[in-house]
Amino acid sequence: MRRHLRMLLCMCALAVAMVSGGQNVKWQDLYKVKKKDTIYGIAKKFNITIEELQNANPGMKKSDYVLKKGDQLLIPFPTMSKVNTPAQTPETSRPATPSAPAAGKKKEMGVVRVGVMLPLHNVDGDGQRMVEYYRGVLMACDSLKAQGIKTNVQAWNVPIDANVATTLADPAAAKCDIIFGPLYTPQVKPIADFCRKNDIKLVIPFSINGGEVAKNDHIFQVYQSPEQLTAVAVNAFMERFSDSHVVVVDCNDATSNKGTFTTSLRKRLQEKGITCSITNLKSSDPMFAKAFNTTKRNVVVLNTARSPELNSVFAKLDILKKSSPAMRISLFGYTEWLMYTKPYTEYYHKYDTYIPTSFYYNPVAQRTKNFERTYRQWFKSDMREALPRFAITGYDQAQFFLRGISTYGSAFKGTKQQTTYAPMQTPLKFMRVSDGGMQNVSFMLVHYRNNRSIESISY
């Protein structure tokens, strides 16, 4: 247990100090500097060179660096010329034979072996976001210890130009129970084929193109395409507002891609015989008001998700409500509206707003606050201002899958019936795609009620 904790802490520190490069992530220890330690003495203690120690801890290369008591240093394995590392010993360095690639796959009893194959570097935004995601995975693994779930994490830096074959040639890769990644579409097939060959579950966390999930039964694809989300959003709308009057506002945004939603919605409304009015953001206030019904609830839908047009619609609605205070108005928006919660929260509540989404970051929830405090303590920084929050995404996905594997083993499919974890931000519910893998179908409406409460309606 002590060694497991030490290795986990080592990887946590790695997530902070990660730099670009194609090497696999292998460290033998995380060393806490003592009062009389010297750089030379530490290097000698672990049979490494000063250069190797400095390469593992780039901050040591600065001209003003001073070794201080309490510093945490990553200790790399010595180079091959000095000693064989555990991952390079004769027993584990033999690649699996093509005829039976999984035959040599040895698993530690009671331990979930986790692989992460993502761009873990600080070169660009992709790498920085994935480092944050990886930190969330590590935090989940640490939390799972309290549930009696042991994990062994191996991470590979897989940038956009990585040679995936080199990554997969590492003997440690074939021993994983589950791999999170990749980020880039061209890397999906070779990694997915490797996972099927070695009976490993592959979780693809973010947006990709292609239909590999329909061909490979070892894939869990979290990402849902815009077409899928549009279809389920229209279904949710029809289910909830079948007795309402729909008002579509043309916002004159030539750059908008939300016409697919409004077109699909209007078609369904017509099929069901539900009334629908169309107005324009540039219409005069009296003409704008004529599109609304005085007896039914009005559900307002814009054909853009942009903030300036949304702000203009709020101004129009304010004028309308002033002249007709008894008029019932709700808004049905887009996931992008979650980015505008700071300036528009009051309006969302005022106009009974529903936002369709596959995630919901709630900064006022106690679990979120606790997570952000722990993240800050571990990594000495705040999470990136992004939606969804990448560290929480990694945490939710690791909790979901590692709990599931620990409970159901290889039979875990991520279905609603097998759910063992209540998400903090990103709910997951998977369904089979044809004869292939599992596709996330989780969807919710975030409802800003008039009474200033917020509810999450899951589908």
Torsions phi, psi for 73 (to 5 deg):
-115, 135
In a shared domain, residues 216 and 269 = no
In a shared domain, residues 328 and 402 = no
pLDDT digits (tens, 9 = 90+) for 202-258: 999 999 988 999 999 999 999 999 999 999 999 999 999 989 999 999 999 999 999
Counted domains in the chain: 2
Whether 73 shows a pLDDT value over 70: the answer reads yes
Answer with the one of 299, 334, 356 that is the final residue of a domain. 356
In a shared domain, residues 198 and 243 = no
In a shared domain, residues 134 and 193 = yes
Answer with the one of 327, 356, 385 that is the final residue of a domain. 356
Residue 51 domain flag: no
pLDDT digits (tens, 9 = 90+) for 287-303: 999 999 999 999 999 99
In a shared domain, residues 210 and 269 = no
Lowest-pLDDT range, 3-7, 64-68, 325-329?
Answer: 3-7
In a shared domain, residues 208 and 252 = no
Whether 7 shows a pLDDT value over 70: the answer reads no
Residue 454 domain flag: no
In a shared domain, residues 338 and 253 = yes
Residue 45 domain flag: no
CATH of the domain at 126: 3.40.50.2300
Task: Supply the range of the domain harboring residue 149.
Answer: 108-221+358-441
In a shared domain, residues 385 and 295 = no
Residue 315 domain flag: yes
Residue 2 domain flag: no
In a shared domain, residues 388 and 401 = yes
In a shared domain, residues 217 and 364 = yes
Answer with the one of 356, 387, 415 that is the final residue of a domain. 356
Whether 92 shows a pLDDT value over 70: the answer reads no
pLDDT digits (tens, 9 = 90+) for 354-377: 999 999 999 999 999 999 999 999
In a shared domain, residues 234 and 341 = yes
In a shared domain, residues 204 and 170 = yes
Residue 390 domain flag: yes
Residue 284 domain flag: yes
Residue 28 domain flag: no
